[in-house]
Amino acid sequence: MLLLGIDIAFLIEKVILISVILMGSLGIAMYSTWAERKVAAVMQDRIGPARAGWFGLLQPLADGIKLFMKEEIIPDRSTRFLFIMGPCLAMLTACMTSAVVPWGPDYVTASGHVISLQVADINIGILFVFGVVSLGVYGVMLGGWASNNKFSLLSSIRAASQAISYELAMGISLIALLMMTGSLSLREIVAQQHGFWDGHWFTWYFFKQPLGFLIFLVCAFAELNRAPFDLPECDSELNMGYHQEYSSMKLGFYLFSEYINMFISSAIIATLFWGGYNFPFMDKVAAGVHPLLFTLICVMALMTKIVCLILFFMFVRWTLPRFRYDQLMNLGWKGLIPLALINMLITAIAILWIFKS
């Protein structure tokens, strides 16, 4: 069966995969809000949400219902279309990145049909991620500008300059990694990190690029607008920042997209540096169990890494105080970019040296 030259079975397979991934990332983002409160609570010697359901597990649902029920206010002097566009764009860009992450190894059915657990294996996967991330700033900028509020505008401009500044360091830190991988495809990069130990050294790129990982992680914090880089929404001086004028589910979209972004960027970090769905002794496991079970174990391995990274993001948020704006810019331009360049240089020299010998 063909629809406009595309196999319908293929279409259905991809649609199912996309819906599962979207539902999964929405669900994980939902429970990230719960986890964030719990993490914050246990670090401050509290117990956190405990009323809605067992251990407060229904809290995200309650929050969602609350946000839907709230009155929706669109400021009189705002630019209406862009005001509505802002949160939509934020959500859209948050969800789009998940398309190129390989969530698990290919599953080959008994009839020889290959089901890929990646929506699109484009050969420039990382660049796609960068493209979408660089668009993410529009949601914030348009929303902040369309609100017709000085504080919103100021903070959206802060957000944009922060995002642009840290994108540079992020890109340069990745170039060092890409010099080692020789490929931009995330699928290929994960395949290179197969297993855990290749006889000489760890296969995961964290052990080959520790400095690059560190820079990437710091930049990820900044790109996500999360503490200690949450200047766009610093509640004390910009009272909530770019989403000050937002209410109801439009506010919810902004808040929610941050959590989706956190999930996706954890997935990207896990894929690039922590071996993606690979885990130690995976060959022995693969030989011993049913292929479907093995695929599931791989997906679970990736999810475990992602959850650990999300918890780390939260852990840092509730520990470190916010940077001042000049400190942020100093760190980005004078600290991370030179460091990333040095890292790139070291990697290039090492590759040349190893290549020659």
> What are the C-alpha distances in Å from 159 to residues 211, 216, 325?
25, 18, 11
Q: Given candidates 122, 255, 307, 350, which one binds other proteins under the rule CB under 8 A? A: 122
Nearest to 219 by CA among 38, 304, 90, 343: 343
Q: Given candidates 11, 17, 153, 255, which one binds other proteins under the rule CB under 8 A? A: 153
Q: Which two structure tokens, joined as six digits, stand for 121?
A: 């294996």
> What are the C-alpha distances in Å from 127 to residues 16, 60, 100, 307?
25, 33, 10, 24
160 binds other proteins (CB under 8 A): yes
Nearest to 236 by CA among 330, 163, 322: 322
The span of 12-20, 136-144, 204-212, 349-357 binding other proteins (CB under 8 A) equals 136-144
- Determine the 3-state secondary structure of 107 from DSSP: strand
- Determine the 3-state secondary structure of 29 from DSSP: helix
The span of 104-112, 204-212, 286-294, 317-325 binding other proteins (CB under 8 A) equals 317-325
84 binds other proteins (CB under 8 A): no
| Shortest Å, Cβ 347 to other proteins | 17
- Determine the 3-state secondary structure of 71 from DSSP: coil
Judge residue 122's burial from the number of C-beta atoms within 10 Å of its C-beta, 0-12 exposed, 13-18 middle, 19 or more buried: middle
**Left, alpha or beta for 276 (phi > 0: left; psi -120 to 50: alpha)?**
left
Q: Which residue, 88 or 157, has its beta carbon nearer to other proteins? A: 157
- Over the range 98-114, which residues count as b (16 or more CB within 10 Å of their CB) and which as e? bbbbbbbbebeeeeeee
Nearest to 274 by CA among 198, 175, 204: 204
134 binds other proteins (CB under 8 A): yes
| Shortest Å, Cβ 132 to other proteins | 8
According to CB under 8 A, which residues from 8 to 67 bind other proteins?
42-47, 50
**Interatomic CA distance for residues 53 and 62, integer angstroms:** 10
Q: Given candidates 116, 161, 247, 248, which one binds other proteins under the rule CB under 8 A? A: 161
The span of 151-159, 205-213, 247-255, 258-266 binding other proteins (CB under 8 A) equals 151-159
316 binds other proteins (CB under 8 A): yes
**Left, alpha or beta for 237 (phi > 0: left; psi -120 to 50: alpha)?**
alpha
123 binds other proteins (CB under 8 A): yes
Which amino acid, one-letter code, is at 172? I
Q: Which residue, 58 or 124, has its beta carbon nearer to other proteins? A: 124
Q: Which residue, 298 or 337, has its beta carbon nearer to other proteins? A: 337
184 binds other proteins (CB under 8 A): yes
Q: Which two structure tokens, joined as six digits, stand for 298?
A: 């791989």
Q: Given candidates 18, 22, 82, 211, which one binds other proteins under the rule CB under 8 A? A: 82
| Shortest Å, Cβ 23 to other proteins | 27
| Shortest Å, Cβ 205 to other proteins | 19
Q: Which residue, 50 or 297, has its beta carbon nearer to other proteins? A: 50
315 binds other proteins (CB under 8 A): yes
Sign of CA dihedral 84, 90, 95, 100: positive
| Shortest Å, Cβ 301 to other proteins | 24
Q: Which residue, 239 or 330, has its beta carbon nearer to other proteins? A: 330
318 binds other proteins (CB under 8 A): yes
Say which residue the tokens 């520990």 belong to: 319
Interface positions with other proteins (CB under 8 A): 4-6, 42-47, 50, 79, 82, 122-124, 127-128, 130-131, 134-135, 137-138, 141-142, 145, 153, 156-157, 160-161, 164, 167, 184, 315-316, 318-320
